[in-house]
Amino acid sequence: MVVKSVPELFAVLHSSKCLLLCSTEQKNKYNHGEDTTSENSSELNMSFESGQKKSSQDAMKDNESAESTRKRKEQDDAKQDPKCDMDSKDTILTNVVDSNDTTGQTKPSNGEKASEPSSPDAKLSKLTCMATEMTNLSPQLNASETCSTDVEMVSPHSPTSKESPRNLGENASACPDSESKTPIPNPDDDTKDISEVTEMETDDVEQNSTAVTEESNCNQTSSSASGQVDEQKETKWLGTPIEELRRRSQFGQSLPHLRATDNHKVLIRTDLLKAGELPIPYPLHKFRDSWDDMTVKMPCSEKNLFPVESEDGSGLQSRWELISSALKGGLKSSLDIRDAILSYNTAHAKRWDFTALNVLCTEGLENCEVQFLFNNILPAMVELTVKMPEICTQPIPLLKMGMNQSLTMSQKQIACLLANAFFCTFPRRNSRKSEYSNYPEINFYRLFEGSFPRKIEKLKTLLCYFRRVTTSMPTGLVTFMRQGLSNFPKWESSNTQLTRLHITCEGTIEDQGYEMLQVDFANRMVGGGVTGLGLVQEEIRFLINPELIISRLFTEALEHNECLIITGTEQYSKYSGYAESYRWKENHTDETPRDEWQRRRTEIVALDALKYMHFMEQFQPEKMTRDLNKAYCGFVRHGVDPQNLSAVATGNWGCGAFGGDTRLKALLQLMAAAEAGRDVAYFTFGDEELMRDVHDLHTFLKDRHVTVGTLYCLLKQYSNVLCKTALRPDVSLYGFLYEQVSSDPDPEPNMGPSDSHSEPSTSPANCL
């Protein structure tokens, strides 16, 4: 039976109430040893009129009919269930878990509110359950005992059913035990109290009024919850909307024609550069050899010799010939790779360990992946390696200390150089005592060492890159520019106002900061531990954009007044995690547009922070000045209109293992960016408190028109306060700034002279 009207529903409920009272009284008399058969019949006749008894009997018959209908429906559903083809395996698993949940609520995997069962049979089965198991119910109508969630489910505005329809199987006619039912919620939780239930049973008008009131309350609650969700979403970022910050593709300024100059080396034919076509090396098919201290010593150089035994006990052989023959001999296992590499690195045969490479091939990859690696990727990498004399045809200049010089090469040339790094072919680069001791490592031998899980994930990420470039070679260019400054702003006398700030606790520099100037929290040896154990911000960026790694081949360690700017690298991988939790996820297709030089509009600046052994050390005036100068060096572009400068995408620079204070570093970067004429997009990497603190201070300072010079003087004043404590300051930096600006919004810059050159100034306020 389907309940078609409210009166019919009340008749059924009234019948249930009648039987409930009868059954309870019968049970009480039985417990006292009385014969209750005739007495119960008499009490029943006295309690209700004959019309009411007839209504009760009709209701019971209707309930039995409804039960029969419901059972037939469930049998039909049971027959259909095995044939049901679900689109998503996750959906099936979710339903299985929910069907065993005692609360019985269906929880959608997408987090949406569960919907109320649409079939009336599920609701009627609750009513049948009430009528057939009276001994579990109390004759008194009170909220804690009688007004069960089953009765409430009859109301169209009541909460979602606590019993999942999937639980109503072969024992659907039997009520669940009272212990398994969820208690009725407190009236304060927007559910009906006992007076509302009573009114519903006795007065249709009151019932409708109650329903309207409940619906209104529900809507208000939903609206309030929606507002809270919106507020939470809004607090994920503060300040200027990121869409309003400038990006590279928004500039109308075009680049001049690409050409080689005295301080810009270009390794391709610029006159033949075309979009979508592989750049032509320059010179073509003619390798220019060089073996000096101004260029990279190439593996294919004729001066790269290898000692061999001869009849007279000594002899030299071309190392390049040995490399080519060893790699072309065929690589069928990780042991073959090891033997090939050691054959031309015999001096390191007893030290180099290839455990990580072996673990990758035996445990880290599926069998089909291993087969593809040895049948496809490695042979293509070998071919790319041995073609170095045809691909990289002129000497590669070293970007040495104190030199403002740029180098532009093709992505294919970079792929060739990285393949050589993988097979450890670069000479004089395997010892810290060599002539390249002030350069980062480039050969990958340390990447193959040990069985650390992070090494396996690193290798997966790099092999994803090699698979991509050996399958379809990218056609763009990449520029590496070493920039050093000899003159810096006089920070204490700067009248520059802070620029706009977007700050967020979500997102990443590489994703949300696309086409901005993206900061690499670098080591002075660029790339840090990317070929070793390191796996934090810089190493991760070098892994997902492997073309950055080749900068280690020719970039000498950075000085305090220098930075490295890389334009045009491509992202090849997606990842998750950080440090030990880092995992390679999947291939990534970079859709960043290219500029006129066929470079991706991805500009990354490597800024090395200082490492602090003691917390207070970083507040010394010369240390703060150093970081200001370093950031300014990376942000400034002399001769470029600030309107043609993209925003800086940065974050907690030097605040991890280097011990930097996040609030100080954020403020220093804001000051440097303002002086360079750039807005800032700041990523706190999940730190919501830092997001609010930096935003609030930035707003406070901008509203009061506090200049960069004033801030610099206040930082020096704070250094004086800090020197009075041994370990930690008594006053927080931001608290000090709030107090000083509020009491004296324009302090005099009388903290001592500032040197405009690269050497930071000394001051009476320092802590040395």
- Binding-site annotation, residues: 523, 537, 578
How far apart CA 278 and CA 500 sit, in angstroms, is 40
Cβ contact 419:383 at 8 Å:
no
Neighbours of 371 (CB within 10 A): 11
CA distance 234 to 255: 38
Are residues 84 and 54 in contact, defined by beta-carbon separation less than 8 angstroms?
no
How many angstroms separate the Cα of 35 from the Cα of each of 21, 134, 138, 243, 405? 17, 19, 21, 84, 109
Helices then strands, counting H and E runs in the chain, come out as 24, 14
For helices 537-544 and 453-471, give the axis angle rounded to 10 degrees.
Answer: 30
Q: Residues 449, 538, 562, 627: which is the catalytic one?
A: 538
Residues forming beta bridges with residue 680, ordered by sequence position: 501, 648
Closest CA to 763 of 707, 718, 706: 718
For the question of residue 539 being annotated catalytic, the response is yes
Phi, psi angle pair for 94, to nearest 5°: -60, -45
Return the bridge partners of 407, or none. 265, 480
Output the six-digit token pair for 106. 């269906």
Comparing CA positions, the residue from 577, 562, 452 lying closest to residue 508 is 577
CA angle, 204 then 210 then 214, to 5°:
145
- Decide if 152 is catalytic: no
SS3 percent helix, strand, coil of the chain, rounded to 5, is: 45, 10, 45
**Cα–Cα distance, 338 to 340 (Å, whole number):** 5
For residues 120, 122, 123 and 124, what is the CA-based torsion angle, rounded to 10 degrees?
A: 80
Can you tell me which residue has the tokens 């040339």? 413
Closest by CA position to 320, among listed 245, 213, 419, 427? 427
Structure tokens at 557: 């360690």
Radius of gyration of the chain (CA): 38
Catalytic annotation, pick one of 520, 603, 608, 661:
520
Q: Active site residue: 214, 539, 603, 675, which one?
A: 539
Q: What would the DSSP string read from start to end of 118-143?
A: --HHHHHHHHHHHHH-GGGS-SS--T
Alpha carbons 204 and 209: distance in angstroms, whole number = 9
**Number of Cα atoms under 13 Å in the Cβ half of residue 446:** 14
Q: Show Cβ contacts of residue 546 under 8 Å, excluding neighbours closer than 6 positions.
A: 418, 461, 462, 465, 572
**What are the beta bridge partners of residue 517?**
603, 648
**Pick from 601, 570, 567: nearest CA to 587:** 570
| Helix (H), strand (E) at residue 477 | strand 477-484
> From CA 477, how far away is CA 406, in angstroms rounded?
13
Please enumerate, by residue number, every residue annotated as part of a binding site for substrate: 523, 537, 578
Distance separating alpha carbons of residues 638 and 647, to the nearest angstrom: 16
Task: Provide the CA 11 distance to its chain's centre, in angstroms.
Answer: 59
Contact between residue 753 and residue 761 where contact means Cβ atoms under 8 Å apart = yes
Cβ neighbours around 178 below 10 Å, total? 12
| 253 sits in which H/E element | none
User: Please, are residues 50 and 152 in contact by the beta-carbon 8 Å criterion?
Assistant: no
DSSP class of residue 492 equals: G
Cα distance between residue 381 and residue 464, in whole Å: 12
Q: What distance lies between CA 609 and its chain's CA centroid?
A: 23
501, β-bridge pairs: 680
Angle of CA points 219, 221, 224, to nearest 5°:
110
Active site residues: 520, 538-539
